[in-house]
Structure 1
């Protein structure tokens, strides 16, 4: 079972498995039917405060990752992480983001948490 990170704007592929949107806001210009999203757990996304802090350029990606991992340890988010782990045990999961740099986004941090746990 694999965890992939892709941009939501990329065409869905058969090997995507379960497609999970990990952005708090719906991606601009993306039609919901074209996105082919299976799950959108908003409680798993970075807090609005953390998202604004990171996008304002106030801190490093490493600090963002540390803060986001702390948020993922909170009870509601931890429950959703456990749910994603169950999905990964059952098959492939693709974490989707609108970020122009998916490898330096919350999707990449979340993949690391899933791979490490």
Structure 2
């Protein structure tokens, strides 16, 4: 299984495999047809409180990562995402964030790859 992270605003590609939106909010200005999202798994996204606290500020990213990892430890939606990874060779985690390096998708991808079931 391979997990990838991609901005939902970038054009879909065949190599994306299963496209899973991992944002709690639907991306602004994007129709469902254009997004080509196979599954919207908003329950795996950071809590509203954590998302608002972080606000995509680079200086807060390390602390955001630690807090989001703690949320993921207790989140049953992670198991659903792992099952999707077991049944699809590629799962692309879609995020609406502008920054391709500092977002919940990057944290989630690392979590799935480095934390045992």
Normalized against structure 1, the TM-score is what? 0.90
Counterpart Cα distance in 2 of 1:19 and 1:53 = 27
Deviations 1:43-96 (A, max 9, x none): 11111110010017496101001001111112xx2x211121121122100000
Query: What SS does the corresponding residue of 1:61 show, helix, strand or coil?
Result: helix
Partners of 1:81 and 1:12 in 2: CA distance? 24
Q: Do the aligned partners of 1:5 and 1:103 also contact (CA within 8 Å) in 2?
A: no
SS at match of 1:60: helix
Specify the alignment match of 2:77 in structure 1: 80
Asked whether the equivalents of residues 18 and 38 of structure 1 are also in contact (C-alpha less than 8 Å), the reply is yes
> Which residue in 2 is equivalent to 1:3?
3
The whole-number CA distance in structure 2 between the counterparts of 1:56 and 1:10 is 19
Which residue in the other structure is 2:21 paired with? 21
Higher helix share: 1
Deviates more, 1:32-41 or 1:49-58: 49-58
Gaps in structure 2 of 5+ consecutive residues? none
TM-score normalised to structure 2 length: 0.90
Q: Give the alignment of 1:60-71 within 5 angstroms.
A: 60-71=60-71
Rate the CA distance shift 1:57–1:108 in 2: closer, same or farther, 3 A. Answer: closer
